[in-house]
Amino acid sequence: MDETLPDSAGACSAGAWGPSASTSLTAYRALRADRARWLPVALDIARSHGLDVGSPHVFSTGTNLVVGLGESLILKIFPPLLRAQFVSERGSLTQLAGRLPLPIPEIVAEGVRDGWPYLVITRLTGTLGSEAWPSLPEDQKERVLRQVGETIASVQRAPLGPLASIEPRWDAFMRAQMQGCRARHERLGLAPKFLGGLDDLLREAATGLIPMDAPPVILTGEYIPENFLLACDDGEWSLKGLFDFGDVRAGWRDYDLLGPSAFMAAGRPGRVRSLLEGFGYTKPDHALRRRLMALMLLHHASDLNSHICIEGWQQQADDLVELQELIWPG
């Protein structure tokens, strides 16, 4: 899956990246913020593939160096210290090509410039979910969440192929997350009333609540409005595109319900029901709520204080059991 790619030669020396940006996250972030340092190299990469560089558009959000090339292509450059994201993105786009009911980017070109791997991918059309979602009527939010659930299920039906070899494996990833869970949430300021039930939940997670050896599926970990596109046709909003596969791993299927649960469902019964039914579940029972609560605390980006989009949730629940009932009402 991670075979060596040809180095892309060009007039601009990759010394423009700066050696420390290849190994230091702080230095890389400084580079990313200074487009004058990296954009000339990006455009030289594009020219080396015969691509139009007449009207580049730098995307200011995200982790990697991303520039739009005209209306139809995007160049995405990954720093060496985030090469795992390149491996996940490249492998996912290859593995999922032609297997989903909605568009995902297609790989047009790829290569490496002085150790920095990159992809040229097609640019999807539609309105970014994070822009459209807040103003959607409630019935349209339920409609879109059902489609999100259906899309997650479609991705998970695709064969893993080479993605099965992505490290860490699910059981190792989960055990590492369990070991660091309490320290993480103490550092992030989770209220003591929720920390009080954490050890019991972690014991349940380690002893069967979260399957460790069930057949793994493709997980993106990030079905959130920033990573999909919407479109409106005759007053009906629909999911029209999915992108950003840099954090893909293989593991237990319920893990991918966490993003839309936290950022979109907001504890609304109709939204929760639509998401779960689209995914293939009926209304949540205690076991499913408990498992989802554990997975939410163990997610690689978990930060309940920042991610649960239910106004005043800290005051509405007195412990983790009440919190899981609040997030996934029956």
> In the prediction, which pLDDT does 251 show?
97
> In the prediction, which pLDDT does 61 show?
80
- Report the distance separating Cα 146 and Cα 149, nearest Å: 5
Tell me if the domain spanning 127-327 has CATH number 1.10.490.10: no
> In the prediction, which pLDDT does 10 show?
47
Tell me if the domain spanning 14-122 has CATH number 2.40.70.10: no
- Report the distance separating Cα 221 and Cα 218, nearest Å: 9
What's the sign of the alpha-carbon dihedral 29, 30, 34, 40? negative
Task: Characterise 317 by phi-psi region: left (phi > 0), alpha (psi -120 to 50), beta (else).
Answer: beta
The full DSSP string for 7-48 is B---SS-GGGG-GGGGT-HHHHHHHHH-HHHHHHHHHHHHHH
- Report the distance separating Cα 45 and Cα 179, nearest Å: 42
Going residue by residue through the chain, which has 330 residues, state the pLDDT in tens, using 9 for 90 and above: 544 455 554 444 445 677 788 888 899 999 999 999 999 999 999 999 999 999 899 998 888 999 999 899 999 999 999 999 999 999 999 999 999 999 999 999 999 998 999 999 999 999 999 999 999 999 999 999 999 999 999 999 999 999 999 999 999 999 999 999 999 999 999 999 999 999 999 999 999 999 999 999 999 988 999 999 999 999 899 999 999 999 999 999 999 999 999 999 999 999 999 999 999 998 899 999 999 999 999 999 999 999 999 999 999 999 999 999 999 998
Contact 274, 142 (CB under 8 A): yes
> In the prediction, which pLDDT does 315 show?
96
pTM given for the model? 0.91
Gyration radius (Cα) of the chain, Å: 21
- DSSP SS3 for 80: helix
* Chain-centroid distance, C-alpha 66: 16
- DSSP SS3 for 125: coil
> In the prediction, which pLDDT does 293 show?
98
Domain ranges across the chain: 14-122, 127-327
- Report the distance separating Cα 305 and Cα 91, nearest Å: 33
